[in-house]
Amino acid sequence: MKRRDLFAGSLALGALAARSAWTSIPAAAQALNRTAPAGSVPHLTPMRVHADQIADIKVCLRPFRPMGPRLDVEKIGDKTVIHNYGHGGSGWSLSWGSADIAVGKAAATLDKKIAVIGCGVIGLTSALTAQRAGMDVTIYTKDLLPHTRSVRANGSWTPDSRVALTKPAGDAFPALWEQMARYSWKTYRDYLGLPGNPIDFRDNYILSDIPFDQKHFPPPQPGAGDYSTTGKPQHTSEFADYGDLIRDIIPNPEEIDPRDNPFPVAHARRANMMMFNFGAYGHLLLSEFYQAGGKIVIREFHNPGDLKSLPENVIINCPGYAAHDWWQDKTLIPVRGQTTWLPPQADALYGVEYKGAALLSKTDGVMVQALDFSHTLGEMVGVGNSFEHADRSEAEQAIGIFEDLFARMGKEHV
């Protein structure tokens, strides 16, 4: 359930432990013998994807910690600080479960007045979860959700995308991850079917010109080392895969029979994928927070000593990647990612992955993202890169892949 696995429509099987995500995808589908029912692929309207349609390019740094998100409790003077940051490429997906753990620790103090630092998806879900537990919550933040890194993401269910490295995360983390993922999944289901579709599902198609089982990542370079020897992951195989732990609740992928394949490529799969419409969902979360009596104070903190001036004694700290400087947490590794946005296309609500790029049609726009054009890096793309500025050529390259695909698709369907 890395982005790659997700777009592949794969819920990782045990074979994913070997980290050959591409190769495990057919293994998953074949083992289940799942072929989409004949005739169940609807007519798909080709999308209008061209560089002159670009409405926005957003860049974001995934807050990646090799040992997984930080959820421990720290004392700063008489303040109790509960950390809740470092969710890598999985923050949207794990938010509610992570909030539940952090708020449980806050509740143990028996203090009802809580401060939350940060108003990204982690801060906002922490604040709402605390309110639902009967607490009086004030959010202190530099930016509100629409201006945070959170809304520069893709916004799909990807709960183990760059969330940890297998070895540094250790033996206890998988169970904690499972707890967060199951809790989040269940909570998100409560937001389905609401006006504006804050949370929705999309048919997501992964396409390939060659059989999926012929796709492999090159093995690690001899002598390249790994996280334990270099302080940075060196190969995609070091990243953790936990998808198998929740396989019983996530819709499985289907093979598409060539006779039903609407795309001009030889191989196709389809997955039913949960996704988040940032505009509707973000607006709903902020409204819920205010309606429950929540307060927001715009404020920037510069070092932990600043917390002493807060009236609250219990603080849930949700600054995302900013903890690298604000809390001097140098275990955070930036993982750069970029999403490009085209106008919404309500007549074509589906997703596609092809040639190392992803496209997802959402209510707030068509999102295009470069994943791994080289097909050699996997989870290593963007690791250690903190360049938070738009790269137009990357955006145009990803758009070109889909422009070409839809042009061919249109011709073959005339």
CB of 3 to ligand FAD, least distance (A): 7
Task: Determine the distance from the C-alpha atom of residue 68 to the mean position of all C-alpha atoms in its chain, rounded to a whole number.
Answer: 14
Is 282 one of the binding residues for ligand FAD (CB under 6 A)?
no
Residue with tokens 């500025």: 389
**What mask of x and - would describe binding to ligand FAD in positions 129 to 148, judged by CB under 6 A?**
------------xxx----x
Closest CA to 9 of 20, 25, 23: 25
Nearer to ligand FAD, 24 or 156 (CB): 156
Residue with tokens 């470069």: 370
Is 118 one of the binding residues for ligand FAD (CB under 6 A)?
yes
**What mask of x and - would describe binding to ligand FAD in positions 74 to 93, judged by CB under 6 A?**
-----------x-xxxxxxx
Residue with tokens 């889909």: 402
CB of 56 to ligand FAD, least distance (A): 13
Closest CA to 149 of 125, 121, 128: 121
Q: Which of 24, 131, 154, 187 binds ligand FAD (CB under 6 A)?
A: 154
CB of 188 to ligand FAD, least distance (A): 11
Nearer to ligand FAD, 58 or 375 (CB): 58
Is 332 one of the binding residues for ligand FAD (CB under 6 A)?
no
Q: Tell me the number of residues near ligand FAD by CB under 6 A.
A: 39
Sign of the C-alpha dihedral, residues 20, 26, 32, 38? Answer: positive
Is 155 one of the binding residues for ligand FAD (CB under 6 A)?
yes
* Tokens, residue 195: 């006006």
Choose the stretch contacting ligand FAD; rule: CB under 6 A; options: 59-67, 165-173, 192-200, 370-378: 59-67
CB of 182 to ligand FAD, least distance (A): 15
Residues 6 or more apart in contact with residue 294 via CB below 8 angstroms: 127, 131, 137, 138, 139
* Burial classification of residue 176, based on how many CB atoms lie within 10 Å of its CB (0-12 exposed, 13-18 middle, 19 or more buried): middle
b vs e for 216-230, b when ≥16 Cβ sit within 10 Å of the residue's Cβ? ebeeeeeeeebbeee
CB of 310 to ligand FAD, least distance (A): 12
| Crossing angle of helices 121-132 and 91-107, rounded to 10° | 40
Is 318 one of the binding residues for ligand FAD (CB under 6 A)?
yes
Q: Could you list the residues that contact ligand FAD (CB under 6 A)?
A: 60, 62-63, 85, 87-93, 117-123, 141-143, 148-150, 153-156, 158, 300-301, 318-322, 326, 337, 339
